[in-house]
Amino acid sequence: MSFKTIIEPFKIKSVEPIKVTTEVERKNYLVNAFFNPFLLQADHVMIDFLTDSGTSAMSAAQWAGVMLGDEAYAGSRSWLHMERVVKALTHCEYILPTHQGRAAERILYSHLGGKGKTFISNTHFDTTRANIEFSGAEAIDIPIKESKIPSFDYPFKGNLDVEKLEKLIVEQGAKNVAAVILTVTNNSGGGQPVSLANAKAVSAICRKHRVLLILDCCRVAENAYFIKHREEEFSKLSYYEIAQEMFKLCDGAVMSAKKDALVNMGGFLALKDKTLADACKSLLIITEGFATYGGLSGRDMEAIAIGLQEVFEPDYLKYRIRSVTYLGEKMHQLGVPLMLPIGGHAVYVDARAMYPHIPVEEYPGQTLVCDLYHYGGIRAVEVGSVMFGKYDDDKKLIPAPNDLVRLAIPRRVYTQSHIEYVIEVFQKILNEKEKSKGFYIIEEPLFLRHFTAKFERVE
Ligand SMILES: *Cc1c(COP(=O)(O)O)cnc(C)c1O
């Protein structure tokens, strides 16, 4: 017989205390942080959903690996372990360790990019786009049209629009397309999966036009979960085999190990072509470190080797995806407007729909992140007009297409009761939301203003 409750498939050996704060204390902390949760001290946060990146809890096996880490400058045992594990998974002959995902991106995309070059993706993650644009190249996103309607339920909302892809390659000229980048899962929108059928179609077009296909594989295990359960044809394969199928279609991969490798720091670049790998290796040695450690300690590489295997364990993945979905489903039942379906690593709330009385110019997403902290000590991130808004010539705000708030769930960190608490806080916010006010910005930097902007409440 099978039970409804999915238990966390781990016991807790080491705990990190959470300082329980009161609403009065949080009110002060929020004022001192100028109503920007990025300016809060982490110690004043009870449930931190700012990001799932680098926030995983490592297993006992990984911590044991940390002690076994070999810190040799060249040819470290821990490097050989990591290389073996990454090679087996990715089918790539050439593996370069890097200190995190963006270092792998910078090396590969600065080499392939430059003026006149184009990169095409289902969606470029922000560091990916930044590295491409910094090289002088152009980054074009072509997600399927179903992905553009937040409430539209579709099983593979992360897919790339293959019709547009072929047209774009022809338009741009295949030799000007530096690479196609398939991001799995698609981070924007909370980790919407890409189907294996879509990856195969993308790969066929790339092969036909001889365009390089790179997998941004940060969440390839979470993506494999969705394929196994939503794509009938592949339901007999293991999660690991599904991921391998995906790598077979590509010419290489970049990974931030801070996601599905279950570590706090690390990444890699994996390539099949020797000439390309040699060029990247030179850049790696100049800026990151020697080719057998990149920017990593031996102990980090040991932990990555172990985490990259643990992440494919069926009990773990089921718990991981189901617990994120559970939070989303409960919020949906309460009537919180959400991005659907729930993705692999985060729940997105449509704050504009949640606070219809707050005009877009007063940042409804900021209202929700402040309410979450005020009522519950929960930290989330605004992904809307604070993050992406621009000004026109008259200094009037050009809002982002949506005002969303992301709750990104760290891996293996919070238990069911933490999640139940978050649901209760949302009920409270819904009850009180008519009283909530918007915000205006009193100070902001020129770039990436969401990190440091200061706000005042509209009265
Ligand atoms: C996090 C992330 C990156 C960048 O990795 P860092 O380790 O943060 O540098 C690139 N692509 C995707 C899809 C990501 O989620």
Nearest residue CA, atom 5 of ligand 1? Answer: 101
Fold (topology level) of 23-52+313-457: Aspartate Aminotransferase, domain 1 (3.90.1150)
The answer to whether residue 190 scores a pLDDT higher than 80 is no
> Would you say residue 159 has pLDDT above 90?
yes
Q: Where are the domains of the chain?
A: 23-52+313-457, 60-310
The confidence score (pLDDT) of residue 1 equals 61
Q: In the predicted model, what is the mean pLDDT of residues 66-89?
A: 98
Q: Which atom of ligand 1 is nearest to the CA of 102?
A: 9
Q: Would the pLDDT of 156 be above 90? A: yes
Overall average pLDDT of the 58-87 stretch: 98
Q: What is the pLDDT of residue 4?
A: 85
- pLDDT computed for residue 363 by the predictor: 97
- At 9 the pLDDT is 96
* pLDDT at residue 390 is higher than 70: yes
pLDDT at 222: 98
Q: Which CATH architecture has domain 60-310?
A: 3-Layer(aba) Sandwich (3.40)
**Picking from 199-203, 285-289, 385-389, which range would have the lowest pLDDT averaged per residue?**
385-389
pLDDT confidence tier of residue 401, bands split at 50, 70 and 90: confident
| pLDDT at 447 > cutoff 80 | no
Cα–Cα separations (whole angstroms), residue 372 to 25, 207, 459: 14, 47, 19
Q: How confident is the model at residue 126 (pLDDT cuts 50, 70, 90)?
A: confident
Q: How far is the CA of 125 from the centre of ligand 1 (A)?
A: 7
Residue type at position 446: L
Q: Which neighbouring-strand residues pair with 256? A: 267
pLDDT, tens only, 228-272: 999 999 999 999 999 999 999 999 999 999 999 999 999 999 999
Asked if 23-52+313-457 and 60-310 have one fold, the answer is no
* Distance set, CA 399 to CA 143, 414, 423 (Å): 21, 34, 29
Is the previous residue joined to 410 through a cis bond, with omega within 30 degrees of 0? no
Ligand 1: residue of 51, 127, 263, 268 to mutate (most ligand atoms within 8 A of CB) is 127
pLDDT tens for 305-329 read: 999 999 999 999 999 999 999 999 9
Give the Å distance between the CA of 255 and the centre of ligand 1: 7
Tell me which residue has its CA closest to atom 6 in ligand 1. Answer: 101
pLDDT at site 229: 98
**84 pLDDT more than 90:** yes
Whether the full predicted model's pTM is greater than 0.85, yes or no, is: yes
pLDDT of residue 427: 98
